[in-house]
Structure 1
Amino acid sequence: MTVKVACVGGGPAGLYLSILLKLRDPSHDVTVHERNPEGTTYGWGVTYWRGLLDRLHAQDPVTARAIEASSVRWNQGVAHVRDLTARQPGDEGHGIGRHRLLEILADRARSLGVHLDFEHEITPDALPDADLVVACDGVRSTLRARYADHFGTQISMGRNRYVWLGTSKVFDAFTFSFVETAHGWIWCYGYGFGPEASTCVVECSPETFTGLGLHRASEADGLALLEKLFADVLDGHPLRGRPSGTGGAQWLHFRTLTNRTWQRGNLVLLGDAAHTTHYSIGAGTTLALEDAMALAAALCEQPTLPRALARYEDERRRALLPVQSAARYSALWYENLPRYMQLPPQQMFALLGQRHSPLLPHVPPQLYYRIDRAAGQVETLRRLKRWLGPRVARTVQARSARPYSEGSVPRT
């Protein structure tokens, strides 16, 4: 069905949805409304994994190639604990600057005939005249907030404090640094997103936050303290807050958002307006783009708007269940960090990779590590047996057909 669609919010979700709709049917009338000037964004870089890139290539190779060409890659993780370092191989990860990602998506959308309407704020009292209005205006969505009772919006605040920073230090791996202070642990996650910059997210408990005086420090003093604490991994490079005029670096509590339903008449939620997952699993942008894929497919394959929205919501809710569970346990792991910091770095790093497990909070860390290691060895043997099984069977079958093959000739 041909539809007129208004996307409220010019982030990755809204832009990518507009691209997919025009690719599927150029007759769709699609407008993306963004309240900020073009090029305005927050944050630094975003992460994604090979699986998303494969899906992007399947949906729109032009966009996928542009994103891949502008991304950096890593396949290792590094953890610094006190003066010790552990390094482990991992899946191929990618980082891209948020500004560059939005630039790629906006250019592609324009080339397909999408209308991009910047510096135009849409309010609940003056919704666009469209068959479908897509609220993709983030976790603080004003459209969702107006109808929060209908959507059944619930927001839970994480315990820890975090701040989203940039640095000119270019990390060659996904880097963790855990620093013990007189007021508790503070840590950062660092990953590259371009040839000259990286994202650096710093997190700590509320007790450490106030103990270090970060609650009353100016932005400059706070950044100077963090640069001193993480000097070993920053190698003398500075930390940067948000560009001037966007409010500076802000320490936040992560807000986990869920909704009972994602639709109200011709208004539907997309991306962070519908759901959030803790930043420690690096899935926010991926989930937003996958939402866009599912909604575009449903709109083009279902005969009516109600059926399309029902299919979209059902499909994405089911896909989100394991991700949301992983995010909850990942956040809990960091909130209980001291429980794991007495382990040797290699063991701590191994459990860091297991932080999505629902069993980990209930099993002593040393015991869990031994069980997980033993289970890994058993699984390795199972894989080897599955790999060898058909080959051994084929060898036995071949030899039984050759009565005088080597090893079967009677001895004299």
Structure 2
Amino acid sequence: MTPDRVAVLGGGPGGLYAARLLKLSRPDCEVVVHEQGVPDETFGFGVGLAARTQRRLAEADPASLDDILAASWSHDMRMRVGGREAGMSVSSLVAVGRAELLRVLQRHAEAAGVKLEFGVRRTADELDADLVVAADGVGSATRSAGDFGADVETGSGWYLWAGVDVALPHALFAPERTGHGVFVTHAYPYAADRSTFLVETDEATWRSAGFAETTAATPADASDEDALRYLSGVFADHLDGHHLIGNRTRWLRFRTVRCARWHAGRVVLLGDAAHTAHYSVGSGTKLAMEDAIALVSALQETNDLESALTAYEAARRPAVTRLQDIAERSRRWWETFPERLDLPVEQLLVAYMSRAGNVPLERFAAGTPEVVTSALRQWAGEGPPAGGSLVEWAFARALRPSSPGQEPDLDVLDEPLGTRGFDSRVVPDDPAALGATVLDVGTDARPSGVEHAVEDAVRRGAGVTGAVWLTGGDDRSSVLTRLEVAERLRRRTPALVVVAGPRDLRDDFADGLVADRTHLVALR
């Protein structure tokens, strides 16, 4: 059945973009967007759009992208720790104000013939439409009321979205120590007089600073003014006299949404209603707009609604699952961020870029050679020679009892290993030779692993005082999970940590060594 009437629940970027593309592809179709809010009263600050997303939007609808880019702001990136700073060029990344993005998409939707209805809450059941596109966000009432097999996992860290009334010179990652603990910002400019200023922290710091009380006292439609004042002071060195501003700004914990099914009958989920991915790897806006492209493409290719919705999900689920798995590792990395503040800023930037297994060392070095060279010198005490494989160079570095910042308690090992160290970061696949305690880090159905499984593996290894040998499956996801467990053990215990795995994942093992996730590796 070809849908003659389409209702879109939710007037965010995904819903508006889907409505415009549907109307452009089917001019005779009635398309109505139902948004419970009113125009120009949106929440949020800037939205980032990476180069790959821009290319996809250009292919789908160049006219709306041109207007989005005309209102956007490009920037590069800096990581600042204490008095030191390291940066990288990401000029292809742009940001645009969420309110401006919505204005552009509303204008283009109406130009295509879409009807926009504001200020009324609608449900799928009450809408007289052949197809209902539920783009009603992470708290989707449509998802909650339907049979979509939803699984919502809540992270352990706390974050808030704030802004500042100045364009920062760069996107900025910066931790700040306080008497309560560490707060870290991800900030970026999105207009000539505005920047997003996201702040996150761990549970203990959040409670120590009194934010459990301020969060409970802040109404849902208000901002936590106590938090904004406090954090303006914490990050004063980065704000150049400005203060953080709010827009329904309150502390939250990230919710990762996964659904077994994205459609049921005539209702299909889109964007955050169907899936979320942690903001540290990309925005929900990107995923929602790319969902819209795939949905309209599937509807164009068949006149059978069920087949089209099945094809939409089949086309999008692999990319979404991959991004969610990368995002899950990234979320856990950020939620343990304060443990890495002993690293020099260049090495910390390398650790950040390789945190989820998405940017290998060699590729990062090709675009940012100065940072990587400095990081390798900090890690090994010497820089790599010009040319040649950085992976092989990293494997060939020695681990000595005096290696700066990397001191496992080698004294607990049998002589002579404890006194002479290791001439290479690669050891034979023989845990008995080190008298190591073998810890099998099991795999599970989710490629990125599950939080409680990672923590369970860390607890099992926490009592080891000699060498701990992490083994498990030979697939890449299992190896990345072992490296994540290894990092927590390497930073929380005096044990010598060894991660074993297949030789064909050499790049991942080299990343793990240089980022100080493990002391040694065993290739099999």
The alignment's TM-score, normalised by the length of structure 2, stands at 0.67
Match of 1:98 in 2: 98
Give distance in 1, aligned partners of 2:338 and 2:71. Answer: 38
Give 1:99's aligned amino acid: A
Change (3 A) 1:33 1:71: same
1:319 is aligned to: 319
- 1:152 aligned to which of 149, 152, 159: 149
Which residue of 170, 182, 185 corresponds with 1:185? 182
Residue matched to 1:164: 161
Matches within 5 A, 1:3-402: 3-74=4-75, 76-90=76-90, 92-126=92-126, 128-147=127-146, 150-217=147-214, 219-242=224-247, 248-357=248-357, 358=480, 360-364=483-487, 371-372=510-511
| Letter of the 1:338 counterpart | P
Distance 2:95 2:232 in 1: 22
Output the CA distance in 2 between the equivalents of 1:374 and 1:222: 38
SS at match of 2:256: strand
Distance 2:18 2:229 in 1: 41
Asked whether the 8 Å contact 2:74–2:91 carries over to 1, the reply is: no
Give the 4+ runs in structure 1 shifted more than 3 A.
Answer: 362-370, 373-376
Residue deviations 1:205-260 (CA, integer Å, cap 9, x gap): 01001112233347333212101110111111110111xxxxx4210111111111
Contact 1:124-1:142 at 8 Å conserved across structures: no
Percent identity of equivalent pairs: 37
* 8 Å CA contact 1:77, 1:89 repeated in 2: yes
8 Å CA contact retained: 2:138, 2:273: yes
1:182 positional shift: 2.6
Task: Indicate the SS of the match to 2:211.
Answer: coil
How far residue 374 of structure 1 moved from its aligned partner, in angstroms, is 9.1
Quote the offset at 1:303 in angstroms: 2.4
1:117-147 Cα shifts (integer Å, max 9, x gaps) = 1112112552x11110111100111111112
Matched residues in 1 for 2:508 and 2:177: separation?
23
Q: What displacement does 1:165 show?
A: 0.4
Query: Deviation of residue 301 (structure 1)?
Result: 1.1
Contact preservation (8 Å) 2:183, 2:199 = yes
Q: Which moved more, 1:109-118 or 1:354-363?
A: 354-363
In structure 1, distance between residues paired with 2:296 and 2:87: 41
**Alpha-carbon displacement from aligned partner over 1:68-87 (angstroms, at most 9, x marks no partner):** 1110012x221111232222
Q: Is the 8 A contact 1:161 1:254 kept in 2?
A: yes
Deviation at 1:24, TM superposition (A): 1.4
Give the Cα–Cα distance (whole angstroms) in 2 for the partners of residues 274 and 35 of structure 1: 19
Q: Could you tell me how far apart the structure 2 residues matched to 1:267 and 1:370 are?
A: 44
Q: In structure 2, what is the Cα distance between the partners aligned to 1:62 and 1:369?
A: 41
| CA distance in 2 between partners of 1:119 and 1:125 (Å) | 18
Task: Kindly tell me the number of residue pairs found equivalent between the two proteins.
Answer: 367
Cα displacement string for residues 278-330 of structure 1 (whole angstroms, at most 9, x for unaligned residues): 11112311100000000001111112001100000111111112101110000
Distance 1:47 1:279 in 2: 10
Q: Distance in 1 between matches of 2:156 and 2:192?
A: 34
1:328-378, Cα deviation, whole Å (9 max, x unpaired): 0000101111332211111011111111123541444899999239999xx
Preserved contact between residue 36 and residue 119 of structure 2 (Cα < 8 Å): yes
Contact 1:81 1:177 in 2 (8 A): yes
Q: d(CA) in 2 for partners of 1:156 and 1:177?
A: 27
2:501 corresponds to which residue? none
Checking the alignment, whether the CA contact within 8 Å between 2:166 and 2:192 is kept in structure 1 is no
Q: Which runs of 5+ in 2 are unaligned?
A: 219-223, 358-479, 492-496, 498-506, 516-524
Is 33-42 or 195-204 further displaced after alignment?
Answer: 33-42
Deviation at 1:29, TM superposition (A): 1.1
8 A contact 1:169–1:235 mirrored in 2 = no
Residue-by-residue CA offset, 1:161-202 (whole Å, 9 max, x unaligned): 111101113123221110112332110110111111000111
What residue identity is the alignment partner of 1:54?
R
Q: Report the aligned-residue RMSD.
A: 2.1
Task: State the alpha-carbon separation in 1 of the partners of residues 230 and 509 from structure 2.
Answer: 38
- Alignment gaps of 5+ in structure 1: 243-247, 377-412
Shift of 1:100: 0.5
**8 A Cα contact 2:3 2:130, kept in partner:** no
SS of the residue aligned with 1:215? helix
Displacement after TM superposition at 1:64 (Å) = 0.9
- TM, length-normalised to structure 1: 0.85
* Aligned-partner Cα distance in 1 for 2:131–2:345: 52
Q: CA deviation at 1:37?
A: 1.2
Distance 2:201 2:148 in 1: 32
Q: Are 1:351 and 1:369, in contact at CA under 8 Å, matched by a contact in 2?
A: no
CA–CA distance in structure 2, aligned partners of residues 2 and 226 of structure 1: 50
Shift of 1:30: 0.5
